[in-house]
Structure 1
C-alpha cells in the first residue's frame, strides 16, 4: 500500500475534519473555541508538508452548493457511517442555528419549543439524552436538568460545521447510544491570509399572528496569521436581542356529563376543555452574547499548540398573562353538535388572573488546550486538557389575582383551536381586583393562625426555580503510529481519557403570602399595573403587572417542603476513565477493496449522587423534614465496547458500509438523584385500616442503557457533488431504565428522619431501576442531487431530502405529565423521542452569486420531554403532535469589484405558521399554541 493511501487514512482520523471541512468550515465559524478538529482530531491532524502554502485551505468558493459539497466529502471519505453539515462561508451555516441545520440530516429530527425554535436533536428515534455532545471532540455540559444539550446556546456564526456519528468509533470519547454530535470549529492557520467578516441582521418574529416581535443580531469575525505563519488567531463575537409574543391554550381535560341546552333540556354531552383551562399570552425577551477566541502556535511541522476559549451568556424574560378557571360542571345555554358542546355558559366560576414571570440566566464557559507532537520515528502524540461549565439560574414567580366573588363565563368556539370567552364582571378594575389567597392550594393545614374562612395555610402566589451548575474537566492523551507496509492495517492508535463531571441542581420553593393578616389579606395590584387585552386569544381583558425577582409590595415568602420539592435538589458526580485501542484497515477481501477500523473501548465509571433523605410524602409541610440533610450513595462498573466499521468499495463511486458495536448511554441524571423521601400512609382494605410507609427515590446505582447495534448502508456518490443512499439499522436494547414499584423494609431509615417504628415497617417504594430492554429498528432513504447531472441547462439547481421510518418494541410505564416522584398511571407508553416517520425536502438554486432554497420538514407524533413550570421547571413527558415546518431563503453576493464580498439574504422559518400541540395520555389537549413565522434580513461583508 502506498504512502498516499496511508496519508488519506491518517487524515481520516477525524472523519476528515481536515478533509475539506472546508475552506468553509475551515473558516466559517468565525471561531469558536475549538481546536483543530473533532473527536478523532485529538489523535491526528492533517498530514503536514514542507510547503505550507500548498497545504493551506483556500476559501474561494462559497454558497449553498459549497456547503453541500463539503458535507458530502466528509460523509464519503469517512470510515464510519456519518452525516455532516458544513458552513457555506465564514460565519454562515445553512440555517440560522446549528439545531435547524442538523434537523435536515437523514435520521435526525429536532424537538422544537412552543416558540417554534429548534432546540434539542433526536437521532434515529431516541431522545436527546441518548446522544453524545462534543465540541472539537470534547464532552459538553448542559444547562438542562440532565445531559441533553440545548444546541441553540452555541451561536451559529461561530460554528464551521458538524459531524454526526451514527456508528461507534472507539477514538471518539463521550459517545451516545443514539449517536454523537461533534461540532467542528475553526483552525486559523488553515487560512491563506487574513479574513474579516461582519453581519447585521434584522428579525421579525411571529409573522402572521396578532402578537409579533422584532429583533436584531450582529456578528464580527477576525482571523489572522503572524510570525511567518507560525501564529494564528481567530476571534469572534455575536450579539442578539429579540422579543416575541404568542397565545397558548392549555386544558385540564374535557368534561363529559349532564349539561343544559339552549332549550332548557338536560342532556349528556362532552365539553372540550370543560375540566378546566388556561389560556395565556406569553411575551418573551431574549438577549444573547457569545464570545470565542483561538490562539494557535505551530513553529514547525512537528509541533502544534492550540488554546481556545468560549463564553456564552443568555438572559431571557418570559411574562405570562394567564386566565385560569377550574371546571365547575355547571354548563347552561349549551349549543350541541354531534354530542359535543360548541358553546355554553359555565356558571359559578372563580376566574383567576394569573401573573407569572420566568427569568432565565444561562452562562457557558469553556477552555481547551491541545498539543500535538510528531516524533522523528513516526509517532504522533496528542495531549489535551479542557474544562467546560454551564450554569442556569431560573427564578419563577407567579401571583393569583381575583375578584371577591364568582360569576359566569360565556364560552364560544369550543371545538376550535382557541375558544372565545366573556366574563360577567370586569377584571381590569384595580379597586376590585387583588392578589388573593387560593384557599386549599398550599395543601397544608394551618394549625397556628387559620383564617375564619380558610383552614389551610394561605397561598396567594408561588416562587420556584432551579439553580443548575454542570462542570466537566477532562485530560486526554493519544498515540498513533503507522503500521509496517504489507499488512491489512495502515496505522494503530491508542489512548486514555479521564473525565470528571459534576452536576448540582438546587431547587428552593415556597408560598407567596400577604405580609399582613397572618398571610390572608388581599395584596393590592402594583401601582404600575396595566391592562392586558385579548388574553390567550380569547377576547378577555384583565389587569396585568410585570413580576420581578423581588416580591411585589405587600407580599412575603414562606418556604414549603414535600417529596417533590426536595427531590429537585441533588448532585451527581461521575469520574469516567476511557482507554481505547484502534486499528485502521485498508485491504482487500478477494477483489473487493475494504477500508475501515476495528477497536474497543474499556470504560470505567465511578459515580455517586447526593440528595435529601427526608420524612415527607406528597403532602407538603412548612418545616424542613430532612434533619439528617443529604445522603450520598454510588457505585462503580465497567463497560467493554468493541466496534467494527467496514467499507467496501464496489466501484463506480459506490460504497457498502457495515458497522457492528456495543453502545451505552449514561442514565438521566434526574433518575440518578440521591433523593429518598417517605412517610406513613393510611391504607384501607375493606373495614380494616392500617398505616404503612410509602416513599419515592432516585437511584445513584443505576447502570447505563446498553445496546448491541448493527448498521448497513449503501451509498452511491456522484464525485463530491451528490449522492443517493439507503440504510437500515437495528439496536437490541439490553437494558432500559424504567420506574418500578417494589416492597422494601424502611427500618434502616427511620431514626434518620425521626420516625417511630410501625408494627410493620415494610412498605412501597417507587424508584427507577435497570429493566429489560427491547429493540429499535428502522430504515433511511436519502439523496442530494445537483440537477446539472441531468442537464447543463439546470446548472445551479438541486435538491436534497430524506425519509426515515423507525419502530421500537419498548413499552414503558405511563408517566405522561408526572414528576419523578409520582407513581406511574395505568397504561403503557412507547419510547420517548421516537417519531415513526420523519421526512424532509429542500430545493435550492445557487449560481453567480444568487442563492435560494425552500425546505419542508415533517415529524410525526412523539413523546417529548418538556419543561413544566408548575413543577418548578422539572422536565415531564408529554405527547407532542405531528408538525411540518416550511422555511425559505433568497440571497445575493457581489462577485467582483470594490463591493466584492458584500451579500444580502432574506430568510424565513416556520412560514406555514404550524400549531404546536401537547396532548395527554387520554388524547385530550394539554397545551396548544400557534407558531408564527420568523423572517430574517441579513447583510454580510467579508474582507480577505
Structure 2
C-alpha cells in the first residue's frame, strides 16, 4: 500500500485538489469553528483515514483493478495546506498533520516558524514560543474556532498544547467579519481531531525518546488516539479520545555581561560591567493532555456535539545563577583597552544620569571598552531559584450544526478555565575570590570568564548573602462564550448572506507575594555550615571556566517542606508560605458583545474560467471592563478601580480574481484591534529595594488608560497553483494606531530612585512587507528521484514606529526585517524526509533607554539587539508497513544560539546556548 508511481500520485493529488476546489466554490470558505469534514474529499473512503489532514486517499477503481492506493506523509499534508490557502476567503497559511499524531514539527510553536511571516523565540526550557505574525505578537488564538488563553493573559502558550493533539493549524493574516476580534496581527486557529473525520474504528499509538544534547538525558513522550462511530436508532454517534504525555529534561545555559558604568581608580576611563556571569535553567517538565469529542448526527440536517480539553504543565526546575561582581573588585589589572570609545555623561554613581540627577553632579568622561581585564579580590556568588510551576487549562464546549437546503447555522457554547501556580524559593551564597578574567574578544562574539582553580566549585568559604527571597504567584482566567453563526445561500451574484453574534464574559485574577529577608548578620557574615545547607553541582556554562560545574544550594532541599522550614527559621522569616500580598493583586471583569453581517459574492466573466469572488462585511464590538488593582503609594496600599468601555466597527472587504489554469489574484482590507493585556491595564504600582548593591531598585506599574491597538490592514497576493505545488507572492501594509510598548523611566518615591517599567501607547506604527512562498515536488524525474521536493518562503518586514515617542523612526520591538525558510523534501517508497533551515535577521527585544547604562552623549535611545540567527532541523520517517512507521528527528543541529548586544555592536550582553534535540520514535495505526 505504501508504494505508488509518480504518475499515479500526481493524478490522485490532482483529483483530490479538484474535488476540494469544486466543493469550496460551491460552499464558500468554512468558518474555523465548523468541522471541515467534507473538505478532505475522498479521504473518508479509507478505513481510519482522518479527514482533516493526515491522508489524501483515492480509490483507483478500474485504473488499478479495484486496488486501493493511499498517498500519505509530507506530500499529502502540503497538498492539503495549499488547497486551504487557495480557497480561503482570507490570506491564510496552514499546516496539516502528516498522519495521526504526526505534526511536521515537535511542537505547535516550532511548526509555526515554517509559516511565511512568522517569527519565534526560544524559551528558558528550550521550547520554541512567542510567535509573531508579520512582526506582531498581538495574536488571537482559537481552538476549533473558540478563543483560548493561558491564565490571566490574552495570549495562549502554544507549547501547552502538544503537537500530537493537532490535526491542522491555520494562520489567518487577514480578517473577515465572522472571525473573533482581538488580534491585530491575525488569528491562529488550532484544530483537533473529531470522530466524524474517520470512517472506521481507529487506534493510533505513538512513542518517542528525545535526547537534548545540553541536558544529556532521555525524555519520553507518548500519545494515544481511539475513535469509532456507530449507527443507532437515534442517529449516528461518534466518539474520540486523545491523550498524550511528555517528560522532557532541559538545560539552557546563559552567559551575560551586565550594564556598563564608568570605572574608577585603576579602571578609570573604562566601560566597566557591574557584573558578569551566567545561569542555567535546568530540570524536567511534564505535559499531560487529554481531549475528547462526541458527535451525534441526530437527523440528516442536525448534528449535536460535545468537546472537551485538558492540558497541563508541570515542572520542578532550577535557575542556577553564577556571578562575579566586578564592581566589588579591589583593583583591576592587565586591562587591554579597545579602540571603541565615546564621550559620556556620567552621574556620581558612575551610571548614566537620570531625571533626578542634579546637573552639578554630572561629568563628561571619555570611556573606552576593553578586550580583556583581570578583576582582583572580588565578590562572587551562586544562587538557586528553586521553581515549582504548574499550569492547568480546561475547556468544555457543546453546540449544534444545522444544514438544510440553503441554510447553515451553528450555535456553540464554551467555558474555559486556566490557572497558573508558580513557587519560587531563592537562596544566595557567596565568597570572595582572588581573581577573575573577563575577555570580550573572539570571532563568536561571546564573552568568556575564567577564575583560576574554579573557586566556586570549592565548598569551603561559602556564606549566606543578599536575602532569602520568596516569590509565590497564582493567576487565573475564565471565559464563558456563546457564539452563533448562520449562512444563507443565494442564486445570484450575491452568493451568501452571513450573520452572527457572540457574547463573552471574561474574568481574570492575579495574586503574588514577594518577600525578602536578609541573612543573620548581613551578607558575607554567616557560613552556610550554620544550618548545614546541602549543595549540588550546577551543570556548568560554556563561557565560564570552560563549562566546569559550580556549587549552589540544592533545589530539592529548597523545595522540600523541611528545608523551607529550616531556612525560614534561620533567616527569621514567618513560618509557612507567606500569604498573598494585597498590593500585588488585580481582578478583572470584562464583557464583550459582537455581531456581524457579511455577504459573499461571485461574478463570472462569460463562460470561461475567469471568476471574481470575495466577501464584504462589518463586525460591531463593544467591550465593558472593570479592573481593580492595589499598589503601594508613599508606603501605603492604595486600591484603584478603573472602568471603561470601547465600541468599534470593524469593516472588511476581499476580492479574488481566478484567471484559470491555477492563477489567481487576491486583495483584502480589514480593520482589526487588539485589547491591552490585563497586567498592562492594572492600575497598581509595585516596587522593591534591591538587595544587590550593584543593581538599581526597580518596579513596575500598569496603565489603566491604555487604548486598544487598531490596525488598518491591506493585503494583495498573486498565486499560481499546479499539480505538485504552488508559488505565491504577497504584499502587506499595516497602519497601526495606539501601539503599546514597555519602557523604563527613573522615578523617585519616598526619596529613593527606582527604575519603573510601564506600558504606554506610542501613537502610530507602520508595518509593510513582502512574502514569497513556494513548494513543489519533482514528479517529472525518473524513478525514486520523483520523490524529491522543495519548499521555501521569504519575508521582508519593514516596520517603523511613528508619533512623538522616543522610539519614533525605529522598527517595532521583536521584529526582524528578514526571515526565511528553505527546505528539502522527500516522500516516496515509504520514506518521508525533510531538512529545513530557518533564519531571522537582527531585532531589538528590549528598550533600555531609561536604564542606567552609560552611553554616548546625545544618545536618545538605548536598545538591546539580538544578532542574526538560523536553525537547521531534520526529520526522517520510514513506513515498515501500513501500520508501523519509524522516525528519526533532530532540531537545531547546528547549535544556533541567542547572542545580543546593547546598542553598540561591541557591547556584548547575552549568550544563550539553545539545545539540540534528537529523537527516535514509532507510530502505529490500526
Shorter chain as denominator, the TM-score bin is 0.7 to 0.9
In structure 2, the CA distance between the partners of 1:557 and 1:654, relative to structure 1 (3 Å rule), is farther
Structure 2 Cα separation of the partners of residues 888 and 902 of structure 1: 20
User: Within 5 A, what are the aligned runs for 1:893-908?
Assistant: 893-895=879-881, 900-908=882-890
After TM superposition, the score normalised by the length of structure 1 is 0.79
**Residue matched to 2:421:** 393
Secondary structure at the counterpart of residue 394 of structure 1:
strand
CA apart distance, 1:533: 6.7
Secondary structure at the counterpart of residue 101 of structure 1:
helix
Structure 1 Cα separation of the partners of residues 734 and 167 of structure 2: 31
**Residue matched to 2:411:** 383
Structure 1 Cα separation of the partners of residues 846 and 506 of structure 2: 23
CA apart distance, 1:706: 1.0
Secondary structure at the counterpart of residue 559 of structure 2:
coil
C-alpha contact 1:205 1:214 (8 A) present in aligned 2 = yes
Structure 2 Cα separation of the partners of residues 102 and 28 of structure 1: 30
In structure 2, the CA distance between the partners of 1:533 and 1:360, relative to structure 1 (3 Å rule), is closer
Q: Deviations over 1:86-127 (max 9, x none)?
A: 00111111111111112101111212224542112111111x
**Residue matched to 2:123:** 113
CA apart distance, 1:932: 2.9
Structure 2 Cα separation of the partners of residues 785 and 696 of structure 1: 50
In structure 2, the CA distance between the partners of 1:887 and 1:741, relative to structure 1 (3 Å rule), is closer
CA apart distance, 1:557: 6.7
In structure 2, the CA distance between the partners of 1:27 and 1:734, relative to structure 1 (3 Å rule), is farther
CA apart distance, 1:380: 2.5
Secondary structure at the counterpart of residue 395 of structure 1:
strand
CA apart distance, 1:201: 0.5
**Residue matched to 1:478:** 485
For the pair 1:726 / 2:729, whether they are aligned, the reply is yes
User: Within 5 A, what are the aligned runs for 1:278-427?
Assistant: 278-328=277-327, 330-334=331-335, 341-374=370-403, 378-403=406-431, 406-411=432-437, 413-416=439-442, 417-422=446-451, 426-427=455-456
In structure 2, the CA distance between the partners of 1:287 and 1:677, relative to structure 1 (3 Å rule), is closer
For the pair 1:204 / 2:211, whether they are aligned, the reply is yes
CA apart distance, 1:699: 3.0
Q: Deviations over 1:536-569 (max 9, x none)?
A: 652363354222165262434759xxxx998753
- Residue 939 of structure 1, aligned match among 906, 922, 925: 922
For the pair 1:508 / 2:525, whether they are aligned, the reply is no
Q: Deviations over 1:152-184 (max 9, x none)?
A: 111111100111111111111135111110011
Q: More displaced, 829-838 or 548-557?
A: 548-557
**Residue matched to 2:30:** 13
C-alpha contact 1:468 1:505 (8 A) present in aligned 2 = yes
C-alpha contact 1:420 1:537 (8 A) present in aligned 2 = yes
User: Within 5 A, what are the aligned runs for 1:647-666?
Assistant: 647-666=656-675
Secondary structure at the counterpart of residue 614 of structure 1:
strand
CA apart distance, 1:341: 4.2
**Residue matched to 1:62:** 72
**Residue matched to 1:839:** 820
**Residue matched to 2:86:** 76
Structure 2 Cα separation of the partners of residues 345 and 133 of structure 1: 51
In structure 2, the CA distance between the partners of 1:85 and 1:428, relative to structure 1 (3 Å rule), is closer
Structure 2 Cα separation of the partners of residues 472 and 28 of structure 1: 38
In structure 2, the CA distance between the partners of 1:125 and 1:98, relative to structure 1 (3 Å rule), is same
Structure 1: 4+ residue segments shifted above 6 A: 3-7, 22-31, 515-520, 564-567, 739-742, 764-767, 790-793
Q: Deviations over 1:577-607 (max 9, x none)?
A: 1101111111136774111111110001111
**Residue matched to 2:598:** 582
- Residue 838 of structure 2, aligned match among 844, 849, 857: 857
In structure 2, the CA distance between the partners of 1:258 and 1:166, relative to structure 1 (3 Å rule), is same
For the pair 1:488 / 2:493, whether they are aligned, the reply is yes
In structure 2, the CA distance between the partners of 1:716 and 1:904, relative to structure 1 (3 Å rule), is same
**Residue matched to 1:612:** 630
In structure 2, the CA distance between the partners of 1:915 and 1:4, relative to structure 1 (3 Å rule), is closer
User: Within 5 A, what are the aligned runs for 1:664-743?
Assistant: 664-676=673-685, 698-719=702-723, 721-737=724-740
C-alpha contact 1:64 1:851 (8 A) present in aligned 2 = yes
User: Within 5 A, what are the aligned runs for 1:516-527?
Assistant: 523=528, 524=530, 526-527=532-533
**Residue matched to 1:689:** none
Structure 2 Cα separation of the partners of residues 938 and 131 of structure 1: 33
**Gap regions ≥5 residues in structure 2:** 1-19, 54-67, 341-368, 575-579, 689-697, 852-861
Q: Deviations over 1:18-58 (max 9, x none)?
A: 45458889999999xxxx999xxxxxxxxxxxxxxxxxxx9
After TM superposition, the score normalised by the length of structure 2 is 0.80
CA apart distance, 1:834: 1.3
In structure 2, the CA distance between the partners of 1:301 and 1:316, relative to structure 1 (3 Å rule), is same
C-alpha contact 2:124 2:281 (8 A) present in aligned 1 = no
Structure 2 Cα separation of the partners of residues 353 and 739 of structure 1: 30
Structure 1 Cα separation of the partners of residues 46 and 339 of structure 2: 62
CA apart distance, 1:74: 0.7
CA apart distance, 1:482: 1.7
**Residue matched to 1:178:** 185
Structure 2 Cα separation of the partners of residues 939 and 500 of structure 1: 43
C-alpha contact 1:218 1:240 (8 A) present in aligned 2 = yes
User: Within 5 A, what are the aligned runs for 1:635-650?
Assistant: 635-650=644-659
C-alpha contact 1:856 1:885 (8 A) present in aligned 2 = yes
C-alpha contact 1:288 1:313 (8 A) present in aligned 2 = yes
CA apart distance, 1:192: 1.3
C-alpha contact 1:141 1:472 (8 A) present in aligned 2 = no
**Residue matched to 2:201:** 194
* Matched length: 813
Structure 2 Cα separation of the partners of residues 429 and 86 of structure 1: 53
C-alpha contact 1:678 1:695 (8 A) present in aligned 2 = yes
**Residue matched to 2:366:** none
Structure 2 Cα separation of the partners of residues 123 and 111 of structure 1: 12
**Residue matched to 1:248:** 254
Structure 1 Cα separation of the partners of residues 183 and 78 of structure 2: 26
CA apart distance, 1:8: 3.6
Structure 1 Cα separation of the partners of residues 332 and 604 of structure 2: 78
Q: Deviations over 1:393-449 (max 9, x none)?
A: 11222211123xx3422316443524242257944565632323x3xxxxxxxxxxx
Structure 2 Cα separation of the partners of residues 698 and 255 of structure 1: 29
C-alpha contact 1:27 1:90 (8 A) present in aligned 2 = no
CA apart distance, 1:186: 1.6
In structure 2, the CA distance between the partners of 1:230 and 1:577, relative to structure 1 (3 Å rule), is same
Q: More displaced, 67-76 or 802-811?
A: 802-811
**Residue matched to 1:450:** none
- Residue 914 of structure 1, aligned match among 896, 913, 923: 896
CA apart distance, 1:299: 2.4
For the pair 1:885 / 2:903, whether they are aligned, the reply is no
Structure 1 Cα separation of the partners of residues 322 and 700 of structure 2: 33
CA apart distance, 1:335: 5.0
In structure 2, the CA distance between the partners of 1:251 and 1:799, relative to structure 1 (3 Å rule), is same
CA apart distance, 1:505: 1.5
CA apart distance, 1:489: 1.4
**Residue matched to 2:230:** 226
Q: More displaced, 237-246 or 651-660?
A: 237-246
Q: More displaced, 651-660 or 583-592?
A: 583-592
In structure 2, the CA distance between the partners of 1:768 and 1:335, relative to structure 1 (3 Å rule), is closer
C-alpha contact 2:203 2:226 (8 A) present in aligned 1 = yes
CA apart distance, 1:479: 2.1
In structure 2, the CA distance between the partners of 1:183 and 1:424, relative to structure 1 (3 Å rule), is closer
CA apart distance, 1:526: 4.4
